[in-house]
Structure 1
Amino acid sequence: MTDAFTSPPSRNLAAIIVAAGTGSRAVQDIPKQYVRWRGKPVLRHSVERLLAAGCAPIVVAIAPDADDLASEAIGDLEGVETCHGGGTRQQSVALALEGLAERAPEHVLIHDAARPIVVPEVVDRLVAALPSHAGAIPVLPVVDSIAIERDGMMAGKADRETLKRVQTPQAFRFADILAAHRAWQGASDAGDDAHVLRDFGGEVAMVRGDEALKKLTFAEDFRSSRPAIRTGLGFDVHRLAEGEELWLAGLRIEHSHGLAGHSDADVALHAITDAVLGAVGAGDIGDHFPPSDPQWKGASSDRFLAHAGKLADEAGYAVANIDLTIICEAPKIGPHRSAMRERIAAILGIDPALVGVKATTTEGLGMTGRREGIAAQAVATLAVFD
């Protein structure tokens, strides 16, 4: 993820992600933090967004038997490490804090893995509260009436104006929260870290949270009301010119002429980019990379397609299929077809088996028939993979 933060993230901000639970209420075959949601494991979302917040290092507390699941979810992300957690959330956090003790960061965020969307503005508000408070938590108002229950009967009501819904990440001065956990004498299932800090005598500020920080808890949270399938169509054409390099589907191909354009003029990747953007209703390539902007002069078109793939991922979709047709008299596409499929798949992070590349001519008709240019059209199919 490349979320933009409204202020520069702290250079001394570590993070702990609590991911040692079983998540049984989600009714999954594996703990919910490893279930695929919006195209990738839930834990991966949390890690990527905390990295985008400038957190380093990030320590993920996992169950002792979850090394393989965690390794698969985290992959090769730099600045991320794991530790084995304890039997409760409080024990897991305490172990992760001890793992950071020698490095002693100034601040630390503590976050639940099951909250995959970390909101940049919330992190900014949390960190901004730490100069004057030992800890800060994001909260939301309680909007429903609250009834007190006793033996299945309503026994009274609570004042919802004094109640808040607490979210994560929670932010702390590292030295204070470490000392609070070391001094904790209460039950091992302390609840959350703000409670531990407050018991130690630390003040905890409340900042405005965000509904996007919703915790994935039940099976229905992993289902989606969005259309399961979305399709987009893309088309592009560029003229052939002497002295230009020919780039097609991310490959440089030897040819007497190349395609002319503001970027590298790769009509194949441009068509696919527009198809993916169209599938998620995100406009077209010119909206995101206008030819009037000099920074895109000569730019490699793989950047455009990678951006479109990222937007699809953020919208909750994974690329299920790409079907590309290149329209030209020359060069011959057949010898390059396999390499093109692999290159397109690598840019989008999908299996080459999900990419189709075809070629056709216009039988000598039109600008492509006269070898004045090359055209391409593409269809992108996106699917919700929850």
Structure 2
Amino acid sequence: MSTAERTSCVAIVVAAGRGTRAGGVLPKQYQPIGGEPVLRRTLRLFASHPDVTAVLAVIHSDDSGLFADTTRDLPKILAPAFGGATRQASVRAGLEALAALPGGAPDIVLIHDAARPYASPALLTRAAAAARVAAAAIPVLPVTDTVKTVDGAGRVTGTLDRALLRTVQTPQAFRFDALRAAHAATAAAGVETLTDDAAVMEWAGHHVTTFEGETTNVKLTTPEDMTRAAGPALADLPDLRTGTGFDVHAFGPGDHVMLGGVAVPHGFGLVGHSDADVGLHALTDAVLGALCDGDIGSHFPPSDPQWKGATSDRFLVHAVEKVRARGGRIAHLDLTLICEAPKVGPHREAIRAEIARITGVPASRISVKATTTEKLGFTGRREGVAALASATIRLPFEEEA
């Protein structure tokens, strides 16, 4: 019987954060890359590894439904634990959940970030092996750039010896009892600002050893990270489609207009059954048009009282989710606002950022422009605002019905 067979090893995947820096309508761990949620890809890696006997995810208490959908049919997945206000609190909750298992706590625990979906099976093998000979071991990479210290004014105060420096990744590997005791000690002392579990062990007086990490084991943090992560999957989405949308709303009483999800101060409002956001309405129709799936009125009829006064981000989210449900991605959004007033330019970047937040599409793939009709027509007479939008999406190839 091998050491791996005699030693129980459970992975805790920390997935309780909100991931706001990544943008999107969902926490980053539930956003798709290559047609699969980040968290599922991460959990599948551990669940399929022969050294790992079970996998425990620590999730946000609001995400139970998302988690159930994400983990459907995956083996070795335990009922999730709910995280706390800090990463330390979340890991501690996972450790206590493992300690309460009917079969007893594991010998070894691997702690991994949900937002690192590209760790390799070989890295997991090295992690489990390291924990069999040390109480704490972490994957590291040498620092190749010169590193300097700076003061509050940005002036260089020193140059560090990069030969002594390493960047740190997960999974980090520990003897279960030692890590649980170290977390209990930091909690009792009110220390909640340590950024990884190795720091918890260091604080408790343990030595931490290292093993070789991987340059491909990147952590997804920003919208650009999500786009780059999904990049290799574009080849699997050969069906390239473009849709357009157009919308008009007249001015009425009010002190602001909604344009692209942003409240823009103005001497009038816009009249409509919902919040009359012409920009988001046009974008919604563009996405639905690319899907050949009707228009905004067929999905959200103005005759339905439930949509009276509704915020238009709900309509665009619905269209975006339809793209994802088809296994697709939005590659580009382009919005042109047509009016004499209010001036759009001062609000352009805020509008781009809000559309990025709503759709999960990086702002670098969102264009917002404005123009006038040279005082011609209803917009030229300052009677309302019009919007023209286009959406480019990629879908898996589907055979014609």
- What is the CA deviation profile of residues 40-60 of structure 1, one whole-angstrom value per residue up to 9, with x for unaligned ones? 000001100001123232111
* Unaligned segments of structure 2, at least 5 residues: 239-325, 329-394
- Measure, in 2, the Cα distance between the counterparts of 1:111 and 1:8: 19
**Which of 4, 13, 19 pairs up with 2:15?**
19
- Give CA deviations for 1:48-82 in whole Å, capped at 9, x if unaligned: 00011232321111111111221221123232121
CA distance in 1, matches of 2:233, 2:122: 29
Kindly indicate whether residue 58 of structure 2 is the aligned counterpart of residue 61 of structure 1: yes
Secondary structure class of the residue paired with 2:110: strand
| Equivalent residue, structure 2, for 1:133 | 134
Q: The residue matched to 1:211 in structure 2 has which SS?
A: coil
Q: Tell me how far apart the structure 1 counterparts of residues 150 and 133 of structure 2 sit (CA, whole Å).
A: 38
**Matched residue type, 1:193:** D
1:160-239 equivalences under 5 Å are: 160-184=162-186, 185=189, 187-224=191-228, 225-226=231-232, 228-229=234-235
Letter in 2 for 1:171: A
Question: What SS is found at the alignment partner of 1:65?
Answer: helix
Distance in structure 2 (CA, Å) of the matches to 1:195 and 1:231: 42
1:38-77 correspondence to structure 2 within 5 Å: 38-54=34-50, 55-77=52-74
| Number of equivalences | 236
Tell me the equivalent position of 1:354.
Answer: 398
Cα deviations across residues 281-310 of structure 1 (Å, max 9, x unaligned)? Answer: xxxxxxxxxxxxxxxxxxxxxxxxxxxxxx
Map 1:295-374 → 2, pairs under 5 A = 354-356=398-400
Indicate if the aligned counterparts of 1:180 and 1:197 stay in contact, CA closer than 8 A.
Answer: yes
Q: Secondary structure at the match of 2:195?
A: coil
* Residue in structure 1 matching 2:82, options 72, 81, 84: 84
CA contact (8 A) 1:16 1:110 kept: yes
Residues 9 and 191 of structure 1: CA distance in aligned 2, closer, same or farther (over 3 Å): farther
Q: CA deviation at 1:147?
A: 1.4
- The question of whether the paired residues in 2 share the 8 Å contact of 1:62 and 1:82 is answered with yes
1:300-345 CA deviation, whole Å, 9 max, x = no partner? xxxxxxxxxxxxxxxxxx987xxxxxxxxxxxxxxxxxxxxxxxxx
Q: Distance in 2 between matches of 1:177 and 1:117?
A: 25
SS at match of 2:85: coil
The structure-2 alpha-carbon separation of the partners of 1:83 and 1:231, relative to structure 1 and needing over 3 Å to count, comes to closer
> Is there any run of 5+ residues in structure 1 with no aligned partner, and where?
1-6, 233-317, 321-350, 358-386
The 1:159/1:65 distance shift into structure 2, 3 A limit, reads: same
User: 1:187 deviation in Å?
Assistant: 2.4
Once the two structures are superposed, what CA deviation does each residue of 1:3-51 show, in whole Å capped at 9, x if it has no partner? xxxx967751101010011111112221111100122000001100001
Provide closer, same or farther for how the CA distance between residues 10 and 353 of structure 1 changes in structure 2, counting only shifts above 3 A. Answer: farther
**Secondary structure in 1 aligned to 2:80?**
strand
Out of 155, 158, 169, which is 2:157 matched to? 155
Q: Does the 8 A contact of 2:237 with 2:397 survive in 1?
A: no
Question: TM-score, structure 2 length as denominator?
Answer: 0.55
Q: Is the 8 A contact 2:119 2:214 kept in 1?
A: no
CA gap 1:352/1:24 in 2 versus in 1, 3 angstroms: closer
Q: Aligned partners of 1:186 and 1:143: how far apart in 2? A: 36
CA contact (8 A) 1:44 1:73 kept: yes
Q: 1:141 to 1:215 in 2, by over 3 A?
A: same
Q: Report whether the alignment pairs 1:122 with 2:132.
A: no
Q: Which runs of 4+ in 1 moved over 4 A?
A: 7-11, 229-232
For the residues of structure 1 that align with 2:6 and 2:13, how far apart are their CA atoms?
18
1:44·1:74 contact (CA, 8 Å) conserved in 2?
Answer: yes
Q: Distance in 2 between matches of 1:227 and 1:66?
A: 26
- Shift in Å, 1:206: 0.3
1:97 match: 95
Q: Give yes or no for contact 1:190–1:196 (8 Å, CA) kept in 2.
A: yes
Deviations along 1:163-222, one digit per CA (max 9) or x if unpaired, are 111000011111111111111125213110111112222221100000121101111111
Q: What RMSD in Å do the two structures reach over aligned CA positions?
A: 2.6
The separation in 1 between residues aligned to 2:233 and 2:33, in whole angstroms, is: 15
Question: In 2, Cα distance between the equivalents of 1:352 and 1:231?
Answer: 4
CA distance in 1, matches of 2:92, 2:184: 8
Q: Is the 8 A contact 1:50 1:118 kept in 2?
A: no
Q: 1:226 to 1:52 in 2, by over 3 A?
A: closer
The share of aligned pairs that are identical, in percent, is 38
| Correspondence for 1:266 | none
Contact 2:327-2:396 within 8 A present in 1 as well: no
